[in-house]
């Protein structure tokens, strides 16, 4: 499974005619192709979410794979009260929190993974890079719930109901967390 978190972000994906619930039922009936379709459909979004939430790039694929492993093992516990995607995000978020606790917040930064600018507009690239760095740092500094709500809303296009189920909160609280996140990010990027 190769879901690079650096692929272009598409907040809302085009849903295929087959709904996730239908694929889940098919997988539970023994159709392995349904599981493959669910992984293909959601792996990239999970990777972007985890990377945006602060998971080290080298751990993102492992976290995505573990998310699907746990989801398929516990598929009977998905009640369908929220989307399958929101349920996956909850599992992924919990795995990321567990990993962070195990590492006690330690972060390894590789100096070999930095891209070289193409030089077509050096001043523009520097300004864009600085703005991106400020935004990424701003997102990293957000309180956990604000960061997760912001990423699920902006990056993944989830509605507040799905976000609330994924994070174990209410839709109203998700709206408040989103509002505060946007306000803080505006201040940090300005």
Beta-carbon contacts of 56 under 8 Å, excluding residues fewer than 6 positions away, are: 107, 108
Spatial distance between the Cα atoms of 118 and 14, rounded to a whole number of angstroms = 32
Instruction: Tell me the domains of the chain and their CATH numbers.
Output: 10-106 (1.10.1740.10), 128-190 (1.10.10.10)
Beta-carbon contacts of 19 under 8 Å, excluding residues fewer than 6 positions away, are: none
Kindly write down the DSSP assignment for every residue of 81-106, as one continuous string: SS-HHHHHHHHHHHHHHHHHHHHTT-
Distance of CA 160 to the CA centre of its chain: 15
pLDDT digits 0-9 by tens, 53-91: 888 888 899 999 999 999 999 988 887 777 899 899 999
Quote the pLDDT of residue 154: 85
Quote the pLDDT of residue 7: 42
Kindly write down the DSSP assignment for every residue of 109-175, as one continuous string: --SS-PPPP--SSHHHHHHHHHHHHHHHHHHHHS-HHHHHHHIIIIIT---HHHHHHHHTS-HHHHH
Degrees, nearest 5: CA angle 153-181-173: 70
Q: How many Å from the N-terminal Cα to the C-terminal Cα in the chain?
A: 38
Spatial distance between the Cα atoms of 128 and 42, rounded to a whole number of angstroms = 29
The more confidently predicted of residues 2 and 178 is 178
Quote the pLDDT of residue 9: 40
pLDDT digits 0-9 by tens, 26-62: 998 988 899 999 999 999 999 999 988 888 888 899 9
Helix (H) or strand (E) holding 64: helix 57-73
pLDDT digits 0-9 by tens, 94-148: 898 888 777 664 545 444 444 545 556 677 677 777 777 888 888 888 898 899 8
Spatial distance between the Cα atoms of 104 and 98, rounded to a whole number of angstroms = 10
């Amino acid at each position: 499974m190769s879901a690079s978190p650096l692929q272009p972000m598409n907040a809302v994906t085009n849903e295929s005619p087959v709904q996730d619930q239908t694929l889940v039922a098919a997988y539970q009936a023994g159709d392995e192709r349904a599981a493959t379709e669910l992984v293909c459909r959601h792996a990239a979004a999970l990777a972007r979410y985890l990377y945006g939430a602060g998971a080290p790039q080298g751990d993102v694929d492992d976290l995505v794979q573990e998310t699907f492993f746990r989801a398929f093992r516990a598929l009977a516990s998905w009640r369908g009260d929220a989307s399958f995607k929101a349920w996956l995000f909850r599992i992924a978020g919990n795995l990321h929190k567990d990993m962070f606790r195990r590492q006690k917040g330690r972060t390894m930064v590789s100096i070999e993974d930095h891209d070289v600018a193409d030089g077509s507009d050096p001043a523009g690239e520097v300004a864009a890079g600085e703005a991106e760095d400020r935004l990424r740092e701003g997102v990293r500094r957000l309180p956990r719930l604000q960061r997760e709500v912001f990423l699920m809303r902006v990056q993944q296009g989830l509605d507040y109901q799905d976000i609330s189920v994924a994070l174990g909160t209410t839709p109203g609280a998700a709206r408040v967390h989103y509002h505060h996140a946007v306000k803080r990010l505006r201040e940090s990027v300005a």
